[in-house]
Structure 1
Amino acid sequence: MTTPPSQPGAERTDGASVRIGALVPLTRPGWIQAGQHLLAGLELAVREVNDTGGIAGRPLELVVRDTAADPQRAAAAVDELAGLGVAALAGEYHSVVARAAATRADALGLPFLCSSAVLDALTEQPTEWVARLSPPQSRGWQVYADFLLAAGHSRIAVAAQPSVYWASGTRILRDYLAPRGGTVIELDMSALDATTVCDELVENRATALLLLVGHPEPAVPIVKSVRRDQRLAEIMIGAPAGQPEFAEWATLLGDDSAAIPFLRYLPERLTPLGVRVEEALREQLAAAPSFVAFEGYDTVAVLADVLRSNGADRARTAESWPRVAVEGTRGQIRFSRMPGISVWQWAGPPIQVVDRDPAELDRFRILHAA
């Protein structure tokens, strides 16, 4: 069952259900499609848990809060959900928002399984309360850097907006590429626009442009401008943060949406569970599910397993992270400690670099995998 966003105090208080708080971006400036896919995965898994007896006979209930990509709103939602008695938190797509939620959950002693945010430092200090399914940014973006080098790109421009997330991505790329002969040229999009960025690319002799900016603005105008500039006919456009994953990208850009490599977290072949879940998600979304939908499903699968084994006690849930062994849609999920990562981390999520096929925009081509 799912509880939609509502006013504080409007939820049931009879204690009959086991509640999970869900943080998802459902309104602007949040990435709405990402939030919809994340929520679809969460909801599907909750329905399946309840169809198979719930949590020791008690129904699992999702209490949804829209973060709208706002860190302060997310932190307030964590406070509210903690007061409503949720057993754990799940979700969130935007990294800066997830960091605010994780910091608050850690302070309150509320278990939080982060579904989809990748920023390495989800909390300033190591915490026992937070675990994560998505790979840390440093891992995924190094895989992307390997792809760039293998494709022959050594002068790489990044069109970046001011953000902890984008700054972290730029630093990861620079630190990884520099010892391997690569140069990262930073273009400050607070000072440039979609037209002037083309001039900078020509002047700096860049062979690749990476979009470290928001979607649809200014990512879509930048792509259109670069694609129409004859001086840049040979330049590769990339989007490591995954903007081309969702159908809206192809809708807004048409043929210009193709051949823009991005990161996604799917294996070449889904597990048998993943194949079944893909079919159910496709029916629910009336579209092909993104990797974010699978992350949502796997989040509830893990939490349900932990809650069945340990009950709804928050401290026992947090103590269970290192003992998790759950078969998810994309492989077996186990959490461990990784150097430089402050939360319990699934070390084995699959990582791909893919793009949309120019001959068939709805088809993705796997260009590189790790």
Structure 2
Amino acid sequence: MRTPPSPPGAERTAGSAVRIGALAPLTRPGWVEAGHHLLAGLELAVGEVNDTGGIDGRPLDLVVRDTAADPERAAAAVDELAHLGVAALVGEYHSVVARAAASRADALGLPYLCSSAVLDALTEQPTPWVARLSPPQSRGWRSYADFLLDAGHRGIAVAAQPSVYWATGTRILRDHLAAHGGTVVELDASALTPTAVCDALAENGATALLLLAGHPEPAVSIVRSVRRDPRLADLLIGAPAGQPELASWAAELGDDGAAIPFLRYLPERFGPLGARVETALRERLAAAPSFVAFEGYDTIAVLAEVLRSHGADRARIAEAWPRVAVEGTRGTIRFSRTPGIGVWQWAGPPVQVVDRDPARPDRFRVLHSG
């Protein structure tokens, strides 16, 4: 592993703060609600670490930068945070943005613990500097494809916008479904109006439509159009990327937003730590915490243990990834090398397909686990 020279201010005296850089989408066009949940989890865990003595008496200091879902802005933030002397980088929700951050962190020799982005190819080549808590897209989306197959869906349509993330998801779905006799038809959500999407669905006979498109638009308008089209009364609408997880979805769509299965990364039941953190996050957010908030909390839980055991030197942090064994809110976190994944990967995060109960849209139903 190459060991870059220490940046200005990196040599800290006893009692000085250990600075951690944090990336999150906090303004549009980023998914702001997801960013706030991620930040809530990060901040809750940092507060708990500092309330219990910090890192050998030194407090954690979270230095937050807004990515606004912009890869170039994220890369610039990584440069800035590295110059400020942060020991490590955490966070980010959007996969394409996290990929830019991971590539820059790798180039700079800055440890990065990615909280919530799933794109398999987070870096172009294997790196010792980056670890990830969220499951790779290939695992989660194959599980979603299994859910569709188990429910009897073989003809799938996707309303997709241009993006590496959406294109990768479409390929994963197509390959997995094709092996079981399924097909995937692509509809351009950027070029077609919601009415035109409905017309295409009525013509091709798909039994499920997956929203591989941004929230709130065009996803919300497509849902409304499909729900009001009598030709599509039996069509399943799905959103594997998790748009229905957050409260804004239900607020914007009401009953129309229920019964739309999506992926989330929570266990069916929390243990004592998860239950305690859920209560604290609910108070902090004044709303039910999403899986993204738990990913944020677990990120700091892992990094704090690494800092206590190995110190705040960047190279030693990165060298510690394969030795991590930390009890998080969703299970014991360990990193390993996964075929086809260039970063240190937690292989064990739970994966669920859930939806909002039409009878009670504030309650989630677990439809599939994998």
For Structure 1 versus Structure 2, the TM-score category normalised by the shorter chain is over 0.9
Give me the TM-score of the superposition, normalised by structure 2: 0.96
Residues 108-158 of structure 1: CA distance to partner in whole angstroms, max 9, x if unpaired? 000000000000000000000000000000000000000000000000000
Structure 2 Cα separation of the partners of residues 160 and 82 of structure 1: 36
The residue type paired with residue 101 of structure 1 is A
**Cross-structure match for 2:157:** 157
CA distance in 2 between counterparts of 1:38 and 1:15 reads 27
Task: Structure 2 unaligned segments of length 5 or more: list them.
Answer: 1-8
Structure 1: 4+ residue segments shifted above 6 A? 12-15
User: C-alpha distance in 2, partners of 1:219/1:131?
Assistant: 31
1: CA distance, partners of 2:85 / 2:22: 13
> Does the 8 Å contact 2:95/2:165 carry over to 1?
yes
Secondary structure at the aligned position of 1:294 is classed as helix
Q: How does 1:288-299 map to 2 (within 5 A)?
A: 288-299=288-299
| Structure 1 equivalent of residue 137 of structure 2 | 137
What is the CA-CA distance between 1:13 and the residue it aligns to? 11
Pairing 1:141-220 to 2, within 5 Å after superposition: 141-220=141-220
The answer to whether residue 266 in structure 2 is matched with residue 261 in structure 1 is: no
* Structure 2 counterparts to residues 72-87 of structure 1, below 5 A: 72-87=72-87
Q: Deviations over 1:267-324 (max 9, x none)?
A: 0011211100000000000011000000000000000000001110000000000000
2-structure distance, mates of 1:319, 1:295: 22
Question: What do the CA deviations read for 1:317-348 (whole angstroms, capped 9, x no partner)?
Answer: 00000000000000000000000001000000
Structure 1 Cα separation of the partners of residues 171 and 13 of structure 2: 47
Offset at 1:16?
1.2
Residues 195-246 of structure 1, C-alpha deviations (whole Å, 9 max, x = no match): 1000100111000000000000000000000000000000000000000000
Aligned to 1:61, what secondary structure does the other structure show? strand
Q: Report the residue type matching 2:56 in the other structure.
A: A
Per-residue deviation, residues 21-45 of structure 1 (Å, max 9, x unmatched): 0000000000000000000000000
State how far apart, in whole Å, the 2-side matches of 1:231 and 1:250 are. Answer: 24
Aligned to 2:59: 59
Contact 1:271 1:328 in 2 (8 A): no
Work out the CA distance in 2 between the residues paired with 1:59 and 1:163.
39
Q: How does 1:24-43 map to 2 (within 5 A)?
A: 24-43=24-43
Distance (whole Å) between structure 2 residues aligned to residue 13 and residue 173 of structure 1? 52
Number of corresponding residues: 360
CA distance in 2, matches of 1:339, 1:305: 26
Q: Quick one: structure 1 residues 315 and 79, their matched pair in 2 at CA, closer, same or farther if it must change by over 3 Å?
A: same
How many angstroms apart in 2 are the aligned matches of 1:190 and 1:198?
A: 14
Root-mean-square deviation (Å):
1.3
Gaps of 5+ in 1: 1-8
Q: Which residue of 1 aligns with 2:227?
A: 227
Determine what percentage of the aligned residue pairs are the same residue.
82
In the alignment, what sits opposite 2:321?
321
1:270 equivalent in structure 2: 270
Displacement of 1:193 in angstroms is 1.3
Q: Does 1:252 align with 2:252?
A: yes
CA contact (8 A) 2:15 2:57 kept: no
Q: What is the match of residue 345 of structure 1? A: 345
Letter in 2 for 1:201: L
- Alpha-carbon spacing, 1:53–1:14, altered in 2? closer, same or farther (3 Å): closer
For normalisation by structure 1, the TM-score amounts to 0.96
- What's the CA shift for 1:189? 1.6
Mapped to 2, the partners of 1:333 and 1:348 lie a distance apart of 7
